[in-house]
Amino acid sequence: MATNPPPEVGASTRSVMVVDDEPEIAGYLAQALSDHHWRVTIAVDGLDALEKIRQTGAPDLLVLDLGLPRMGGMELAHRIRSQHPRTRIIVSTGYSIRLEPHEIQELNIRRVLSKPYGLEVLVEAADEALA
């Protein structure tokens, strides 16, 4: 049975919100990040994410699906950028999209991950986003 390395100094203070309307996917992503010493919150759509952020504060990192009900991922990314400019974003999408370089820079997007991807890819991207 594999064991995870001990957390780095300060690693347990890293917070991430996974925003995905598919509970199974959100659960897998959250578990992988939690296993690597991230403090994880899950939101099911953009409005849920904003409400949780209002209640508990902005996370260090947002792992954001673009195809969300009620409030789409791009609208949420714009709101997060204007209200919480230090929060970094990883886009996780099953859609074939092309974000323009100016959008990526403007929205503080650190990586765009195309589903399906391995959990180790997510963990690496999350770690790099805060490096």
**pTM greater than 0.95:** no
CA 112 – CA 121 distance, rounded (Å): 11
pLDDT score recorded for residue 12: 63
Q: What is the per-residue pLDDT across 26-52, written as a single tens digit (0 to 9) for each?
A: 999 999 999 999 999 999 999 999 999
- The closest of 114, 115, 113, 116 to 126, measured between CA atoms, is 113
Per-residue pLDDT tens over the stretch 45-94: 999 999 999 999 999 999 999 889 999 999 999 999 999 999 999 999 87
Best CA proximity match to 60, nearest among 110, 20, 103, 23: 110
Contact 127, 101 (CB under 8 A): no
CA pair distance 126, 84, nearest whole angstrom: 18
Q: Say if CB 123 and CB 14 are below 8 A apart.
A: no
Q: Answer yes or no: are the C-beta atoms of 108 and 89 closer than 8 Å.
A: yes
Strands 109-114, 39-43: pairing kind: unpaired
Architecture of the domain whose range is 11-129: 3-Layer(aba) Sandwich (3.40)
- Contact present, 112 and 93 (Cβ < 8 Å): yes
Confirm if 32 and 123 have CB atoms less than 8 A apart.
yes
